[in-house]
Structure 1
Amino acid sequence: MNLLADLKKGKRGAIAKAISIVENDESEARKLIKKIFKTSGKSVVIGITGPAGAGKSSLINKTSVSLKKLGLRAAVLAVDPTSHVTGGAILGDRVRMTESTDSGTYIRSIASRGATGAISHSIRNSVRVLEYAGFNPIIIESVGAGQTEVEIANIADITVVVFNPHTGDSIQTVKAGLTEIGDVYLVNKSDLDGATQLFESVKEFIGMTERNPIILQTSVTKNKGIDEFAKKLKEMMAQKQKTKKDRDIKRLDSELKDIVLNNVRIRIDTLLESDKNYAKYLKKLQSKELDPFEAADKISTSIFK
């Protein structure tokens, strides 16, 4: 199988294989990225985040179908909590997204593996694979709360935060650290009680900020607001395309630093294992002759002589 040729044609088997390489085989991933890197950076990345239970998967499913009607070919990367049994991603999302898969959307779950930099690394390169296969936009769905959301906002060109009226005290939910990152805020499940109140809270807390984000109501079960959301995304994609180059310059800077720091970390780990000074100062630390900072300074000085 000629992986690159099949990838260019958007063949699903080739895409699945390429993303598995990116996730699991560093030396093969390097070879692959070397071949496709020059053409990367053209697709718009949409990050969709928000509390667990906000209905993100069902929303993405319907939105992908609406985007297709607008002439766009979306792909979805769902960043899942790592499965404790296999170390792979839990694939519940795919089950909930059958409709969009049938319409030509490509959906893939990626295990978050509990590491922060590792998420960025495998997502960045998976995005490059999907770009090469002709998808635009590429939607990244985050797992839920925490560091992942901030990381996805760093990778995404457009960040969408999804709330629903049943994720606890509405105003507290709105304030929980998500107020800075969204370009679009959706109150999903808007057919439920409390949706209007939550919508008003979001407008009050977030709509008045300088960034002036878009605030919409959607309901998957009533099929309400989804087409409007898809149209807004298409308009925003056109705007973001104009400034994408500047954002990519910053992102490549932070990606390069990540990779360099990772390389240095691996080298230092190897060095410390065989370093006599490390063993010597560790003993002094364990016997309380030195405090941890003194010991670390002495080891660092000996390494960077």
Structure 2
Amino acid sequence: MDMLVDLKKGKRGAIAKAITIMENDQKESKKIIKKIFKDTGNSIIIGITGPAGAGKSSLINKTAVEMKKLGTKPAVLAIDPTSHVTGGAILGDRVRMTESTDSGTYIRSIASRGATGAVSRSLRNSIRILEYAGFNPIIIESVGAGQTEVEISNIADITVVVFNPNTGDSIQTIKAGLTEIGDIYLVNKSDLAGTNQLFDAVRDFIGDSVRNPTILKTSVKKNSGITLFAKTLKDMMKSKKKVKSEKDQKRLEAELKDIVLNNIKEKMDHMLDSDKSFSKYLKKLQAKTIDPFDAGDKITKSLLK
């Protein structure tokens, strides 16, 4: 496969093509993963999450430029809420991130498609493509929509939670889940009023926890705090490298279970469509001569004979 040769060289066209395959073509993606799997798993994954409007895109843009200066080779995957009309990612290829793209950072949006499992699958494999192409770290930006945030922290080695003084003035509005996942908490847009109160609140509310996360202020507008943030990330990449393998073992276990359950579900759907006892008990259920649990148990028994 010529594509693999180009991938290894980090050629953009090959990377774009491979990630599109990971998103849309299960059969082809299996073939590619089979060939590259041994050479993946070595990059540190940085998940950046937080409420919409926290200024994550512009922040990541600047931070990627700084991280490049520090000698790393970052890539960015932005998970966008799906546009229901086209099924593609709304924000396309990230207009706001031109600066970091010019400096050689690879940036790509992938649609979240609403299904938790599907995000994990195309995300996991897109990460593998970027690892194979030599990027490290790989920054995942999630558009803060509930479930994805916690999912990101399962995939990431370093989780960064971004707040800004405008997203509800009080710490009470911050979702409980976010207080448990961050390695770094950023008060972004720190040129705005209310920054110090929010910073103190985050420090008092989250900083005292057992995990002892780092809390920083950044402002893209004033270009302040970003160099320190990039440096903190680079230092953390070193320390996380040590514990990464243990986390990876757990991730691979979760992935394997996902794949097996998914395979079984597909097989089951197929069996139910052609299963005589399914239609027999469905008719009884619809006529109310049997209750749903009883019908379910009888069909399950007949399938697992």
Same fold (TM over 0.5): yes
For the 8 Å contact 1:164–1:195, the answer to whether it is kept is yes
Query: What residue number does 2:49 align with?
Result: 49
Q: Does 1:14 align with 2:14?
A: yes
Match for 2:108: what amino acid?
R
Unaligned runs of 5+ in 2: none
Same amino acid, percent of matched pairs:
74
Query: What residue number does 1:107 align with?
Result: 107
| Structure 2 residue matching 1:180: 3-state secondary structure | helix
Match for 1:251: what amino acid?
R
> What do the CA deviations read for 1:168-220 (whole angstroms, capped 9, x no partner)?
13212334421111111000001101111111110111001101001101000
Superposition pairs of residues 1-305 of structure 1, within 5 angstroms = 2-91=2-91, 94-305=94-305
> What do the CA deviations read for 1:88-114 (whole angstroms, capped 9, x no partner)?
111266111000000110000000011
Q: Distance in 1 between matches of 2:93 and 2:30?
A: 28
Query: Which range moves more in the overlay, 48-57 or 161-170?
Result: 161-170
Residue 295 of structure 1 and its aligned partner are, at CA, apart by 1.2
For the 8 Å contact 1:191–1:219, the answer to whether it is kept is yes
| Structure 2 residue matching 1:85: 3-state secondary structure | coil
For the 8 Å contact 2:169–2:194, the answer to whether it is kept is no
| Structure 2 residue matching 1:124: 3-state secondary structure | helix
Report the aligned-residue RMSD: 1.1
For the 8 Å contact 1:22–1:126, the answer to whether it is kept is yes
| Structure 1 residue matching 2:180: 3-state secondary structure | coil
Unaligned runs of 5+ in 1: none
Query: Which range moves more in the overlay, 162-171 or 44-53?
Result: 162-171
Match for 2:287: what amino acid?
S
Match for 2:250: what amino acid?
K
Residue 154 of structure 1 and its aligned partner are, at CA, apart by 0.4
For the 8 Å contact 1:57–1:93, the answer to whether it is kept is no
Q: Distance in 1 between matches of 2:93 and 2:201?
A: 29
Match for 1:273: what amino acid?
D
Aligned length: 305
TM-score normalised by length of structure 2: 0.98
Residue 3 of structure 1 and its aligned partner are, at CA, apart by 0.2
Query: Which range moves more in the overlay, 96-105 or 174-183?
Result: 174-183
For the 8 Å contact 2:48–2:139, the answer to whether it is kept is yes
Q: Distance in 1 between matches of 2:74 and 2:170?
A: 31
Match for 1:122: what amino acid?
S
TM-score normalised by length of structure 1: 0.98
| Structure 1 residue matching 2:52: 3-state secondary structure | coil
Match for 2:267: what amino acid?
R
Match for 1:179: what amino acid?
T
| Structure 2 residue matching 1:89: 3-state secondary structure | coil
